[in-house]
Amino acid sequence: MVFNKKRTINCGGRLIDLSVPVVMGILNVTTDSFYANSRVHGEKEILNRAETIISEGGTIIDIGAYSSRPDAAHLDEATEYDRLRPAVALVKKYFPETLISVDTFRANIVKQLYEEFGAFIVNDISAGDFDSRMIPYAGKYGLPYIAMHIRGVPQTMQSSENCVYKDIVCDIISYFVKKKEQMLEAGVVDIIVDPGFGFAKTLDGNYELLAGLDAFKLLEQPVLVGLSRKSMFYKLLNITPEEALPATIAGNIVALRNGADILRVHDVKEASHTIKIFLKLNNYLK
């Protein structure tokens, strides 16, 4: 059977070519993200981080203000917006040709940022489940939309009941089949799916999902994978997130082999190199 995965994404009239995998660099304006080195504060740090992402080969800068790590503290909407807006404004001003994604599950934040700054990619960890207006807003504004799989909320997602699946790959694909129908009905044209590694998954579940990632081609949508320095590596190896870069590279190679189109990472240079090596090697793989 032939699957026709979509290979371009339109963001405000600019086409993102996904015929080869691309890197999304993380820019966190949070205070409590699980990887401390990813947090930036103040104009200088934000601009330095954005410049680093671009110079090291990043195609997309993903700006987030709400930590979604397990047991993360809840952040009110006003505070999230107050953190996000200056970062988006700086990147838009000083790097206007760079694609931005905004990591938020709140539709009102998307609305405010779109009205001031124009098009960007929406990166929603809840695929619209946390805010029923999110998918309709993405459709209304014609925004590319990253829909991630999660059960529960960050404060409860790792509970035993949320991490049980009959078949983790099939269950998540079925979830996205329904979500895709909902998004298309709302007018969302450019859909990216994110299986949600580390979100309502056990350690073994994460590896089962990574091994079965190739099955997501059934959805015929680009696939984003976010493995960077996650607990599936540092808990398995009994190390810290700061020590998990080699494991992340190994995981990303498997993800690329199994069909990942976008790697969301903290370490952009290493991910860019990983993609180049994979593409070279792929010329000789059967």
Catalytic residue among 5, 39, 230, 235: 230
Tell me how crowded residue 60 is: count the other CB atoms within 10 A of its CB. Answer: 25
Return the number of other C-beta atoms located less than 10 Å from residue 99's C-beta. 22
Q: Which of 45, 59, 58 is nearest to 268 (CA)?
A: 58
Residue with tokens 């309502």: 200
Domains of the chain: 16-282 (3.20.20.20)
d(CA 220, CA 198): 23
Single out the catalytic residue among 85, 217, 264, 280. Answer: 264
pLDDT on residue 99: 97
Ranges of residues in the chain with a pLDDT under 70 are: 1-2, 32-39, 69-72, 152, 155-156, 160, 286
In 3D, which of 223, 224, 262, 265 has the Cα closest to residue 247?
265
Q: Nearest 10 degrees: CA dihedral of 119, 129, 135, 167?
A: 100
Q: What is the pLDDT of residues 147-175, one digit of tens each?
A: 999 986 776 677 767 788 999 999 999 99
At 38 the pLDDT is 55
pLDDT in tens, 88-107: 999 999 999 999 999 999 99
Specify the pLDDT at position 162: 77
Give the C-alpha distances (Å, rounded to integers) separating 242 from 28, 41, 76, 231: 16, 19, 28, 11
264 is catalytic: yes
Task: Clarify whether 111 is annotated catalytic.
Answer: no
In the numeric block, which tokens belong to residue 190? 């450019």
Instruction: Please tell me the predicted confidence (pLDDT) of residue 160.
Output: 66
